[in-house]
A and B are shown apart, each in its own frame.
Chain A
Amino acid sequence: MDLSRYRIINEGQHREALQKHNALLILIRWGYISLLTLVACSSALLTNNTDAARDYVVIGATVLFINGLFFLVERTTRSRPYLAPGIAISQLVFDLLVASFVTYNQGGIQARTTLLFALPIVSAGILFSRRTVYFTAIAGGVGYIGSVVIVALTKTRQIDWLMLLIPVCFYPAVMFILAKILMYLVEYNTSNTREEAYDNFLSLLTHQLKHPASAAAAIIDVLDSDQKAGKTDLKRYVNMLKSENQRLIILINNVLETVSPKTSKEDWLEFDLNEEVRQVSQLIGQAYEREADLKLTTPEGPIPMHGDKSKLRLMFENLIDNALHYSDEGVTVEISLRPVNDHVICVVQDKGKGFDAEKFQSHVKRFSIEEHPTEEVSGVGLGLYVSYKIAQEHNGNLKVMSIPGTGTQVVIMLNKERT
């Protein structure tokens, strides 16, 4: 499978990947600044310039001290990935300030000071994207050349023009190569994270697939035992088998939906959404033997809808199945459809177990890919994510309101028209 297609994995691991990149950047800074300080100090001492050597040591030590603070902050906030973007931005700003200060202090004409621009480039690349890395490298090169020009025009320092040619010619190339190396490191870091996320995704998916299969195995086992014991009332277990088999079919369709490519809008057809929802309600209601619990409120006539009929059907199967599955027998599940101008508002509401709707927001965006996915949020599995995706593909949206122990309301807005 092509991992890059799975945006759920990329989006899901963005903050966790950013945490790893923050740690990588701090590590790079330890080595880079130490090496730069050592080289600058050594070259100053070789020319008997003890004042300059002392300055380099002070600057280097200060930067390394602040890097130590970044190290501590990064370590202590590992359980809070939402802080990762803030830490990354702080590092970028810090590196830019250091590079600017030292360049200004040295007059901007010495090759070693320009190497400090490498760190902001690294920060930018880690925080944003490949394009930002190259953009920052170019901006750094332009900034350096600009500072040289300003120094020359204002005659602030004496410039050795021959020595200047070396960094001017090679600086952009060095930065570009550095950017390439950085992106390789970042992508290596990210691919490990993506592979880990993919493994977790498969693990959770396998569990979801096993659920109805285990239930079926248990039902057959109990049927066998009851039959041997001469019990004849098997209806209850047959009903269980029907509903679990229905869930399995829906789950398989969800998996197929996740791995299949988007259908082209050119292939969409016009159909009656009202009739589709009625059919799905009847099908799922029969599978659970709970047709009486389903209360359908739709307009009398057809609701013409332009879209992918099988996907929209799957969306409603997911929502109605979830509502029945997580509410008790005898509890009503309300389904309503209401056309509003170019849109259709669909609501599926139950008074079942409910779940933490805040987790839904992160799960829908991430499909709950965590390092240890041992917490199941009832109703928030592949089905709800797939439904969200299908709504979005139809220029619509899906919102969930849920209170644990009280119930869940899913509101879907779909665009009826061809867009």
Chain B
Amino acid sequence: MTKRILLIEDFPVIQTLYGDALRNHNYDVDVVGDGAEALVKVAEQTYDFVLVDLLLPHVNGIQFLEKFTQRPAETKVIILTDFSEPKTEKQAHELGISAYLIKAENTPSELIEKLEKFK
């Protein structure tokens, strides 16, 4: 069954690169540019993965996690960011994420390998 991914990322180049790579690996991908739009999307449908950038306009990644508390059991929330700050990473883990990934260390194909390992 095709897995659904919500990519929350405001940087157009990253939206294109990660979005296209995921689609090429048969993921059904929705892309939004800020946390507020993402909250609307997750209320409308269930995703297998939600990939969240931290630094977003309007509603940032942490605020999104704080509001997205009613998560289906099968939805895995993964932070995908360039912001590596221990305090923020700890806060994100306390909000129930499955992984905290740094973009510079996780190219699209590396990200796909990691997603495949989630059961």
Contact = CB atoms under 8 A, between A and B. Distances in A.
Contact of A217 (B16, B85, B91, B107): B107
**Chain A contact residues, majority secondary structure:** helix
Given A215-B14, A218-B18, A375 B55 contact: yes
Contact of A222 (B10, B56, B108): B108
Nearest to A247: B13
Contacts of B102: 210, 214
A353 B83 CA distance: 22
A125 to B, nearest CB: 32
A219 B16 CA distance: 10
A376 B10 contact: yes
A355 interface: yes
B60 interface: yes
Contact of A211 (B82, B84, B108): B82
A362 to B, nearest CB: 15
Contacts of B17: 215, 218-219, 221-222, 240
Interface string B52-86: 00111110111100000000000000000111110
A137 B86 CA distance: 44
Main secondary structure of the interface of B (DSSP, over half): helix
Contact of A374 (B16, B84, B88): B88
Contacts of A206: 84
A86 interface: no
B60 A376 contact: yes
B55 A218 contact: no
Given A210-B82, A214-B82, A375 B104 contact: no
Given A210-B82, A213-B104, A374-B54, A218 B14 contact: yes
Interface size range of chain A in the complex:
20 to 34
A85 to B, nearest CB: 28
B21 interface: yes
B56 A376 contact: yes
Contacts of B62: 372, 374
B108 A221 contact: yes
A203 interface: yes
Given A214-B103, A218-B17, A377 B57 contact: yes
A378 B10 contact: yes
B13 A221 contact: no
Interface in B95-119: 102-104, 107-110
Contacts of B54: 374
Contact of A218 (B63, B91, B103): B103
A227 to B, nearest CB: 13
A75 interface: no
Interface string A364-403: 0000000011111110000000000000000000000000
Contact of A375 (B56, B81, B84, B91): B56
B20 A222 contact: yes
The list of the 8 closest CB pairs from A to B, nearest first, reads A221-B107, A376-B55, A214-B103, A210-B82, A218-B17, A214-B104, A375-B60, A374-B60
Given A218-B103, A225-B24, A244-B13, 5 more contacts: A207-B83, A214-B82, A222-B17, A222-B21, A372-B88
